[in-house]
Each structure stands twice: as structure tokens, then as C-alpha cells.
Amino acid sequence: MNSKNSDHDELTFLNSYDPTLYDRLSLTTDILVFGISDSINPNYRKLPEKKFSILLVKRKTHPFKDKWCLPGGFLQIDEELTNAPKRVLAKETNLHDVYLEQLYTFGAVNRDPRLRVVNVAYMALINKDQLQDELLADAAWFNVTQIQKENEIKIILKSEIDEICFTLLKINDDINDPLSYKIVDNELLAFDNPLVIFFGLLRMRNKINYTDIVFNMMPKYFTLKELQNVYEVILGRKLLDPAFRRIIKDKVVQTEFVRSGKGHRPSLLYRYKDPT
Amino acid sequence: MNSKNSDHDELTFLNSYDPTLYDRLSLTTDILVFGISDSINPNYRKLPEKKFSILLVKRKTHPFKDKWCLPGGFLQIDEELTNAPKRVLAKETNLHDVYLEQLYTFGAVNRDPRLRVVNVAYMALINKDQLQDELLADAAWFNVTQIQKENEIKIILKSEIDEICFTLLKINDDINDPLSYKIVDNELLAFDNPLVIFFGLLRMRNKINYTDIVFNMMPKYFTLKELQNVYEVILGRKLLDPAFRRIIKDKVVQTEFVRSGKGHRPSLLYRYKDPT
DNA sequence: GCTGTTATTAACAAAATGTTAAAAAGAGTA
DNA sequence: TACTCTTTTTAACATTTTGTTAATAACAGC
């Protein structure tokens, strides 16, 4: 068989192909938006505290009406998969050109009560200073606190207007698989969003150690202590200054600027050194 | 609004919901099966060489008839997403209870010439000793060789009956995103399979350093040198014996058995120490 | 100038990793 | 039996990285 014939066969086949031959379902995308919040410290001489936070929106329609959920939407039939989270994010937060990374695809049969839906979850990292407009009325930032016990992970999400709490139980040994956990005590979050959030936190804690993704959440200029605080809230533990500085100093460049007026030695401002 | 009313609203909504409201498409799953092959060394006194290899099947139908591809199939409408790769793997290789991990979801609009298909790729690790039956006539193991130049990655897949070669060009800085690469010079592989294979290799090389996944490809008993060889073929570089042994000795237990008769000091046989 | 505060780094300790080379334990062979 | 060839195994040291403590620096406010 020569190549011409083969191409011809393929064309004939494609022209007579019936696309309804296989089961068809809907595909959605959720976006787990991470950012860093400053919360004012009551002691006016102390530094503001950094908080690791995620963006949730309140559902206006059924199903899960009035519950919080991750911003998301349906994939369109003629739309690149990678475009869907961009489009949704632009619509919900007016953010463009943010760091996006595919997180995991969730496909439990009953995850949506309406119909069979498979969800491709993405993770976005934003520098909240770049938020041009106010958030929509039904969106809010929630600070993340994670409490780990034996086979149980409790996550508390706290905004100015609401507090969400849920627990994940480990039902399986495979620690890197989000489906190794079962959701319990979830009152306020829609769909399987607790799994998406948990898996995103896990991914962040891992990748922070061997990539430069944190810098997507930093402003252009920052002090090393501010950067260290971001590492600390993501990792959920304190780091020692000298050790942190040794490791991070390859990734940043000192600038001519300082942050002063704080009642102590001014801190030098650094910026990210692009590795090229 | 009380909870009873809310539940009632939700039920009313669900009963009147029209599932054809949103675009619907087909979902497939591909499985990148990794294994380790022994190739006999021509010098009879030398040890057999370990090769890192993947399983490909030859397509019998259009599209891409007679090209090699990853084993895969369509997700059924009432099937758990995690079940699809299990079902496909059982059918194609007669393997059950293998290590499976979700790799990435590929959703370029034109990745399948027939219809809009989104593909959830999985990675499987198998110990080839457990293969109970012969492979199907149209399946074969291909040894993997990867050659990295500047912005170019060349991958050579070699089986007893065929040799496949393709190149990926880096078109984007984001090194962890498979879509940062463009496929060139691909003659023999179907769909976007080169991207799946490349991303799987990347994932393996990363995870081998901070997880115990290699042991899914090892037989029950193995020598430390055999284990080291597996690390070496996956990482694509030689390791120094004492350094490797120091790191790996926490993960294995020495057994009472030895492998002898090789014309040199016998090697102690170890087994995986489950971390529990 | 003194106090309170945080930034920055020096200096040392401890741990991890890289490297070289020697010893151990067999099979084959003269 | 003694010697060679081979690979396994580890000792011993060098080097690098990381952990820790504590000293010094530089400001604001009083």
C-alpha cells in the first residue's frame, strides 16, 4: 500500500465518521486562585502578618445555591482546554496573563447532581496588588489554615464575611492521590471542591521547594523577610532566617531601594532574578 | 429561607434540568505503561543491561492506521474516571492491580481528527515479571533513549521490530508544562502521543527523587546494584555506588537470600520496606 | 542617648553528599 | 592450589550543604 492510498483511506474514513458513536459528556474547569493577604497586626509597631488565601465565589443558582465554590465554567466544544480557565478567570476576576497550571482532573460519576461532568481543575497564582478592580460582590478571599492530625486533615477557610471548615479523612495509602481522601463535615462548599483545594495546597507545598512559582504571588519589589513569610504560610511552619536567605539568594537580586520608616533597621528590597 | 425549602428548590431544579444545555464531547484515556527490560549483554561475563521501556500498540483502524500509539480507550458515560485506565489496561495487557497515576489532561481542539476529544493520560508502572501472558500480537515494548540539546529533546523508542524517533522543540519557558513543547519529525506515533510520553518521562525523573514509585517496577527481591541501574536508566546518568546506597538503604530491607554463581562476590538480595 | 524593634550576617556545629580506594567473595583457568 | 578477573561492599576522607546561636547594624520614638 503506498502513502497516497493510505491518505485516501484515512480521508474516506473521516468523512464517513459518526461522532455520536461514543458516549458524550460535559467538561468543566475550576480554578483554584491563590494569593497572599496582608492582615494588619493589632500591635502597631509589629509587621503585618502574611496569610495564604484562596478566592471563592457564592453560587447564585442551583445546584448548591448559596454555597461557596471555586470559580469555574463549562468548556466550549470549539475551545482549547487551556483557554477555558483563562476565559473564566478573566470573567470572574478581571485578571489577565496570570500564572496557570493544570492541577488534576476529577471525574467521579456523581460529582455533579445535574449530569455527568468531568472537571479539569487548574491552579492560578496571582499577585493581589495587580487586581485592578474590586472583586465581584459575591466573591471573597478566604485565609487558609490547615491542621494535620494522624489520618485527618482539617482545613479552615476564613473571610471577612464567612468561615468554612471541612475535614478530609485518609482512606488510602497513596499520599499523592487526591482521591485517597474522603470529605467529611463539609457544610458550605459545593461539589468536590474540598478535594481540589486540598490537592492545590499539597501541590503548592511541594513545588515551592523545587520551582520559582512563589514569585508569581510577589510584587515586583519585596524584602527577604516578606518572601520568607510567604514561604512560611505556604509550608505552614517557621523557617530560620540564615538558612532561608542562603537558599533564596540565588533566585533574587538586590535593588537600590530600601523599605524604611518602620522603627528599625531598614530592609533591602529585592526582585526576582529570571533564570536566563 | 429554611433548609427544607432550599432542599425542595434544589430537587425541583434538578428534575427540570436539561443536560443537553451545555456542549458535550467525548473523553478518552491513554495509559503510558513503564517497565524495565533486561537486555542480554553480548559479553557473557558481564551483567545484563537494564533498559527503561514503554508499551505501545499498533493501531488496526483509522485514524492513524498502522501507526504506534499508547493503549487507550473511551470513557463510558456511567464509568468512574479512575476506572477507565484500569479497564483498558486489563483488556490490553491482562494486568490487574498495577500502580496507576493521573499524568495530565490534553485537550487541544484538533488532537483527534474525528471529533472533539479530551484525553486524560495516566501513567502505569509495572513489574514485567508479573506479566502473566504474552503480549498481544500488535503490542510491543520499546526501549527509551532521550537526548537533550539546547531547546530540543530527541526521543528514540526501539523495539525488536520497529524504531520510532521524534523531536520536541521548546516554544515556551514554562518547563513543567507539556504544552510548552511542539512536536516535530514525528512519523510513526499517533495523536499527540509524543507529548504524553515526554511528560511521563519528566514526571518519572522528578518523582523518583522524592517518592518510592520505582519499587512498583521492581521484582520482590533485587540487589542494590539492580535497583541502582533502574535509577540510572530513568535519570539517564550514572550514580556513584556509596552515595546511592546511603540514600536507598532506608527504603529497603536486607533479606537472607543472595544472588550467586556470577563469577564474583555474591550480592545480597533486598526487598522494599513499606513505610508504615 | 537610651530603648525597642527588626535586619543582616558571622561563626561555628552537624548532617548530608561526593569521591577514592581498599577489602571481600566468588568463578574460571593454568 | 594460586592466580586472574569480576563485581559487591564498605571504610575513610573531602567537600558541600544545612542547622543554630548569637553578635552587630540601623532605624523610630521617647
| E strand residue ranges, A16-149 | 26-39, 49-58, 68-69, 72-74, 99-106, 117-125, 139-149
Q: Do A23 and B23 lie within an 8 Å CB cutoff?
A: no
What are the angstrom distances between the C-alpha of B43 and each of B46, B48, B49, B267? 5, 9, 11, 20
The set of cell numbers assigned to A150 is: 494522624
Contacts of A108 in chain B (CB under 8 A): 80-81
Of A10, A27, A63, the CB nearest to B65: A10
Which pLDDT belongs to residue A96? 84
- Is the N-terminal amide bond of A85 cis, ω within 30° of 0? no
Contact flag B118-A179 (C-beta cutoff 8 Å) = no
At A2 the pLDDT is 46
Q: Which three cell numbers stand for residue B276?
A: 508504615
CA-nearest of A31, A178, A47 to A92 is: A31
Q: Terminal CA-to-CA distance of chain B, rounded, Å?
A: 49
The amino acid at residue A240 is: L
Model pLDDT, residue A178: 79
Gap from B211 CA to C17 C1', Å: 19
Residue with cell 512498583: B216
- CB contacts < 8 A, A to B, total 128
Residue nearest to nucleotide C17 (CA to C1'): B243
User: Cell numbers at residue B248, please?
Assistant: 536507598
Residue-level pLDDT at B108: 92
- List CB contacts of A4: < 8 A, sequence separation 6 or more: none
Find chain B residues with C-beta within 8 A of A75's C-beta: 23, 25, 107, 118
Element (H or E) spanning A201, and its range? helix A193-207
Which is nearest to B253 in space by CA: B268, B224, B267, B273?
B273
Cα A66 to Cα A139, A158, A226: the distances in Å are 12, 17, 36
The DSSP-derived string for B97-132 is: S-EEEEEEEE--TTSSSSS-EEEEEEEEE--GGG--
What nucleotide is nearest B241 when CA is compared to C1'?
D9
Query: Which among A270, A258, A262, A257 has a CA at the least distance from the CA of A41?
Result: A262
Alpha-carbon gap, residue A153 to A125, rounded angstroms: 23
Contact A105 B102 (CB under 8 A): yes
Query: Which chain A residues contact residue B106 at CB under 8 A?
Result: 81
- The residue count of chain B comes to 276
- Near-strand D residues (CB closer than 7 A): A 240-243, 246-247, 260-266; B 45-47, 223-225, 241-242, 245, 262-268
3-class state of residue B179 by DSSP: helix
Q: Is residue B176 scored above 80 in pLDDT?
A: no
- C1'-nearest nucleotide to the CA of A242: C9
Q: From first to last of the 276 residues of chain A, give the pLDDT tens digit.
A: 444 555 566 566 556 555 566 778 899 999 999 999 876 555 555 556 778 999 999 988 878 888 999 999 999 999 999 999 999 998 887 788 899 999 999 999 988 877 889 999 999 999 887 776 666 668 899 999 988 888 899 999 999 999 999 999 988 877 667 788 889 888 888 878 999 999 999 999 999 998 999 999 999 999 999 999 999 999 989 999 999 999 999 999 999 999 988 888 999 999 999 876
CB B250 within 7 Å, strand C: no
**Closest nucleotide C1' to the C-alpha of A246:** D18
Specify the 3-state DSSP secondary structure of B32: strand
Q: Hey, what amino acid is at B84?
A: A
What is the separation of C-alpha A224 from the centre of its chain, rounded to a whole number of angstroms?
A: 23
CA distance A167 to A146: 10
- The whole-angstrom separation of Cα B2 and Cα A66 is 12
Chain A neighbors of B205, CB-CB under 8 A? none
Q: In what order do the strands lie in the sheet with A222-223?
A: A222-223, A267-272, A252-259
Q: Is the CB of B237 under 7 A from strand C?
A: no
Q: What is the Cα–Cα distance from B17 to A26, expressed in whole angstroms?
A: 14
CB contact under 8 A, B26 and A10: no
Residues on chain A touching B22 (C-beta within 8 angstroms):
26, 74
Could A9 and B179 be called an inter-chain contact, meaning their C-beta atoms sit closer than 8 Å? no
Distance CA A23, CA B252 (A): 46
| Among candidates B24, B62, B102 on the partner chain, residue whose Cβ is nearest the Cβ of A26 | B24
Does residue A180 reach within 7 angstroms of strand C, measured from its CB?
no
pLDDT band at B132 (very low <50, low <70, confident <90, very high): low
Contact A131, A93 (CB under 8 A): yes
